[in-house]
Structure 1
């Protein structure tokens, strides 16, 4: 049995200068970020979360990563690895009960999974 996905609702972008990036994304979206910290800037727009991650964060991101929201991250990670995906970053709690993981598809594309409690 396969578990479902709730779609892509989070996209994280690594940025080299968070202040400059925040200005560009504020201009693009037409409003200031809802989360504005030195370590992370986040915008909520039309049911999506757009995040700016200075220096790629602790995971060293070098490209944007889309996060598929799922009700059961462990089950979905097991399904995608059984189907040929490779775990890049195992499930971890990033605070507030939010769980994330990343995996690569057979071509090396990085995809994220996110589960909110």
Structure 2
């Protein structure tokens, strides 16, 4: 089977393309490759992401897409300056800035939502 060596494609659903496209293009600064009647296509460092129109889209309650970053605090500050609000989940034990780290150490993770309520994350290892 060749899937182990084939490039993946990721899909993000949207009920309203206009604010979603602005968020991914302008707020997150992703590179748009193309757009057609079905999706806006972005390049995620060599991986294709299709922002796909889905009538009646309901976001997953779990993370659908994330990025590994070198400096989570700096990335969060940059995104916060662009209007991104980071999520704090009650009882999860996150820091005041929204960063969670497993007990005993490990990666630092922060979550935020796109205009459709899709959960996105940043991780610093």
- Which TM-score band (shorter chain)? 0.3 to 0.5
Q: Which has the larger radius of gyration?
A: 2
**TM-score, length of structure 1 as denominator length:** 0.41
Q: Which has a greater percent of strand?
A: 1
**TM-score, length of structure 2 as denominator length:** 0.38
